[in-house]
Amino acid sequence: MTMNKKHALILLVMGAYLFFLGNSMIYITDPVESNYVLTAKEMLQAHNYISPQIYGSYWYDKPIFFYWELIAAFKIFGINEFAARFFPALFGIVGLFMTYLFARKLYDEKTGLISALVLGTSFEYWLIAKTVITDMALFVFFDAVLLFFYLGYTTVKKNYYYACYVFAGLAVLTKGPIGILLPGFIIVLFLLYKRDWRSVGQMKLLPGMLLFLIVAGSWYFMMYAMHGQDFLLTFFGVHNVLRATVSEHPKFDVWYYYTVMFFIGFFPWIFTVPMLIRKYWKKKEWPAIDQTTAYLLIWAFVVAIFYQCMATKYTTYTFPYLLPIAILAARLLLDHPKITKGVLVFNLMFYTALTFFVAIPYCQQYSAKDASLRIASIAAPGQVVVSYGDYQTSSVFYSDHMVYRLEKAARIEGLEPQKMSWNSKNVMPFMAEEDISPTDPVLAIVNAQKADEFERAMGGNWQLVDDYGRLKVFSHMTAKQ
């Protein structure tokens, strides 16, 4: 077996083990994963493969690509947890091979292997490879843009540039305009650093942009043709402009947010940072920065600084910087093979334990699956099902029943979607508490912490059907038991 094949086998086995292990037992959680899976489920059932829809209505939270992934997986494996987590795990493996091939091209096979192993066993990478969100697909496409740009820039094979535009189009189909704007900004800063604008003439700009428009623009054009200003205002206005300028979660809008996320996300390899400082502190000199190191540093720091400047902060936004960081860490770890092997062995045991003793029970706790399956087993056709407290989209996904968010009538108008407001995300159906009469056979999924408040507010004869810890199921009057 050649060294390349041996390395490929190591990455395939490790990636498949870490990223697929236990996935069929990890429930779909609220509030993020459930939105994606319910949207894909409704699109599949409606034979609608263009316009994202949820609760029977169109919505424009994310572009189409991740929904296509979920729909494809549901068609192949059925509508279940394993299918929902299939493509994030598969893209996780693709990301490892991409990192290996890139680092091998930059340096050598050993650096490529260590880079991929460091990346794949970083906490954030492992977590996102098992989570039903867009970020693993975005990681592959976003970083592929920068990877192929550098290969085109540093080799005579200028056709690499065409891949940049294709992957930029796929990134825009996955997350939106950031898929081309931020990689483009990183490339511009690198060219500024190099003072090399003549290379722009070799970057296949006209045919490349045509490729980009074909890949990304077709879906956006169709959406505008079908939905007009509503699509533009909601997708670009709320989910791009508003997200950048008004914090959705103000308590996280602090200057050190992504520094903390880096220490958590790059665990356990974060120890390479003090190792690097110690190495050059002893030498009493700054490390030499060659062109490739400069490019990787620009890549990593621009992603971190850019998102730190955005008003809305999410733990996954800076995820694409892990690839260059993993390569830089691998360069340092080449001189420490025993430490590297020891940490890798620890990681395999750590993530195995984390899967079975943390991820599976945690997701069971933060999902409405058990309560929803109970609802599905006792609800009569057309029976009203409501949610009180924190609304659980997973309850609709698992129960196949519409679940209404129960609120006071006076509050509903202020909670419903409004233009250029975070309320635009409240696309679930509402029902006023006052509209439930004493004789309505209603089933309710209630946050356990608000169960007493629920019984006081609603009055009437509510009977506890089942208690699932964080959630309780109540039956009102003549509901089928």
Q: How many CA within 13 A on the CB side of residue 36? A: 30
Q: How many whole angstroms separate alpha carbon 481 and alpha carbon 478?
A: 8
Q: Please name the residue ranges forming H helices in 400-450.
A: 409-415
Q: Quick check: 468 and 370 in contact, CB under 8 A?
A: yes
- Per-position DSSP letters for 354-404, written without gaps between them: HIIIIIHHHHHHT--HHHHHHHHHHPPTT--EEEESS--HHHHHHH-S-EE
Around Cβ 311, how many Cβ atoms within 10 Å?
15
Please give the backbone phi and psi of residue 115, each rounded to the nearest 5 degrees, phi first.
-60, -45
Q: How many whole angstroms separate alpha carbon 393 and alpha carbon 368?
A: 8
In order along its 481 residues, the chain shows pLDDT tens digits of 677 889 999 999 999 999 999 999 999 999 899 999 999 999 999 999 999 999 999 988 899 999 999 999 999 999 999 999 999 999 999 999 999 999 999 999 999 999 999 999 999 999 999 999 999 999 999 999 999 999 999 999 999 999 999 999 999 999 999 999 999 999 999 999 999 999 999 999 999 999 999 999 999 999 999 999 888 888 877 666 766 677 677 777 888 999 999 999 999 999 999 988 887 777 777 777 899 999 999 999 999 999 999 888 888 999 999 999 999 999 999 999 999 999 999 999 999 999 999 999 999 999 999 999 999 999 988 899 999 998 999 999 999 999 999 999 999 988 887 776 666 778 899 999 988 887 788 999 999 999 989 988 887 788 999 999 999 999 986 544 4
Report helix, strand or coil for 286. Answer: coil
Q: What residue spans define the domains of the chain?
A: 3-362, 369-476
The whole-model pTM stands at: 0.94
Query: What residues contact residue 246 under an 8 Å CB cut-off, 6+ apart?
Result: 311, 312, 422
CA angle 442, 391, 60 (to 5 degrees): 120
Q: What share of the chain is helix, strand, coil (3-state, %, to 5)?
A: 65, 5, 25
